C-alpha cells in the first residue's frame, strides 16, 4: 500500500538574533512556501506544523532578493491558503504522523536551535520513514535529523546516506560563525559527520543543488527549496 498523498512541512519555532543583534532569524519563508506550492500543484494535501505551533519570520527571508513577485503577494495576503495554514498551524505533538507520505523540513538559521530537540517533529519524520514515505529537508533543515531514527535498525536515518544542507563555508561568508557558536549550534556538515552521513555540496555556496538518496531528499540552501520539493515528489511517485 502506497503512503498517503499528504505532506507535512515542518517549521522552526525558534527565534534568535544575528549580525550583532540587529536582525532576527526564524523561518526562512521561501523554504516553506516554495515546497508548499510544489506539493499542492502535485496534488498533495499539505499541512504545516512546528514544535510549539508558533513561528517567527526570518528578517533576511523578507528582503526583495528572496521574497518578491507572487511569493511576496502570497506572503502579504493573510487570507492566502499558505498564510492561513502557517498562522494557524498546530503543535507537532497534536499531529498524527502516520497519515503523511512526505515530511519536508523547512528551516532558517533558527532551526539549528530547536530542531535537534524537536521530539514531536522528529516523531513525525520517523513515522513517515517507517511507513515507506519520503523524508526531505532544505538548508538548515537537516538539524532535525539529530534524533530521527530508522525504527527497523535503531540507527539514524541519515547514517550511510548522501545528503546536503547549508555549507559551513556559507556560514563563514555571512560572517556569523561566532554567533552560531554562542548558540552552541551543530552545523549541518558537523551533524553529517557525527551521524555517519556522506555530506555533498555544489561548488558554489548559493547554487541550486539537491541530493537524492533513496527516500531521503535534501537541498543545500534557500535557492534549492523548490527543486528539492520537486525531487521529493518524483521519488514519491515511484514508491
Cα 11 to Cα 16, 34, 54, 162, 167, distances in angstroms:
15, 13, 9, 23, 20
User: CA-CA distance, 177 to 126, in Å (whole number)?
Assistant: 30
Q: Which of 95, 5, 109, 114 is nearest to 49 (CA)?
A: 95
Longest dimension (CA), the chain: 51
A 10 A CB-CB count for 8 gives: 29
Assess contact for 144 and 120: CB atoms under 8 A.
Answer: no
Catalytic residue among 31, 51, 126, 171: 171
Residues in the chain, total: 239
Catalytic residue among 31, 34, 139, 189: 139
CA 129 to centroid of chain Cα atoms: 15
171 classed as catalytic: yes
Q: Which of 60, 237, 80, 82 is nearest to 140 (CA)?
A: 60
User: CA-CA distance, 126 to 135, in Å (whole number)?
Assistant: 9
Catalytic residue among 31, 34, 51, 140: 140
139 classed as catalytic: yes
Place of cell 523548490: 226
237 classed as catalytic: no
Residues annotated as catalytic (active site), given as ranges = 139-140, 171
Amino acid at each position: 500500500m502506497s503512503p498517503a498523498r499528504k505532506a507535512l512541512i515542518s517549521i522552526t519555532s525558534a527565534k534568535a538574533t544575528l549580525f550583532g543583534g540587529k536582525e532576527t532569524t526564524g523561518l526562512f519563508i521561501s523554504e516553506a512556501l516554495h515546497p508548499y506550492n510544489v506539493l499542492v500543484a502535485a496534488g498533495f494535501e499539505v499541512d504545516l506544523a512546528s514544535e510549539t505551533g508558533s513561528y517567527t519570520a526570518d528578517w533576511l527571508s523578507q528582503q526583495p532578493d528572496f521574497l518578491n513577485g507572487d511569493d511576496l503577494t502570497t506572503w502579504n495576503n493573510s487570507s492566502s491558503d499558505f498564510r492561513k495554514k502557517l498562522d494557524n498551524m498546530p503543535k507537532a505533538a497534536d499531529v498524527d504522523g502516520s497519515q503523511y507520505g512526505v515530511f519536508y523540513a523547512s528551516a532558517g538559521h533558527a532551526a539549528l536551535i530547536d530542531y535537534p530537540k524537536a521530539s514531536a517533529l522528529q516523531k513525525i519524520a520517523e513515522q513517515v520513514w517507517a511507513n515507506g514515505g519520503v523524508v526531505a529537508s532544505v538548508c538548515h533543515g537537516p538539524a532535525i535529523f539529530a534524533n530521527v531514527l530508522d525504527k527497523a535498525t535503531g540507527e539514524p536515518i541519515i547514517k550511510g546516506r548522501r545528503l546536503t544542507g547549508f555549507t559551513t563555508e556559507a556560514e563563514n561568508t555571512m560572517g556569523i560563525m561566532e554567533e552560531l557558536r554562542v548558540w552552541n549550534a551543530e552545523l549541518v556538515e558537523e551533524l553529517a559527520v557525527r551521524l555517519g552521513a556522506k555530506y555533498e555540496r555544489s561548488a558554489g555556496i548559493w547554487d541550486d543543488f539537491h541530493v537524492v538518496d533513496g527516500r531521503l531528499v535534501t537541498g543545500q540552501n534557500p535557492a534549492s527549496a523548490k527543486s528539492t520539493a520537486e525531487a521529493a515528489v518524483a521519488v514519491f511517485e515511484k514508491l
